[in-house]
Amino acid sequence: DDRLRELTLKYEIQEELGEHLRILEDYEIIILCDDSGSMKTTVDGTDRTRWDELCQIVKIVLEIGVIFDSTGVGSYGKL
């Protein structure tokens, strides 16, 4: 799949590890995110917060999820 190849290149995922992602076709991906006050804490001495980091990771997971879920990905809440 070209989309998987593009994704592995974009995020520098080794090709063989990218192929392992195909197992996700058999699963419904659900993401549960922490929005507690501690998510305002900055990360590694930067201006980025835990929430910023979480949003970045969720976006990557969603990019992967839409490749393997033919019905698409739903979201609840605000990112």
The domains of the chain are located at: 2-68
pTM passes above 0.85 = no
Residues 15-72: tens digit of each pLDDT? 899 999 999 989 888 888 888 999 999 999 899 999 999 999 999 998 988 898 877 7
User: Coil, strand, or helix at residue 22?
Assistant: helix
Residues 57-66: tens digit of each pLDDT? 999 998 988 8
Closest CA to 79 of 58, 62, 48, 64: 58
Residue 75: is it exposed, middle or buried by C-beta count within 10 angstroms (0-12/13-18/19+)?
exposed
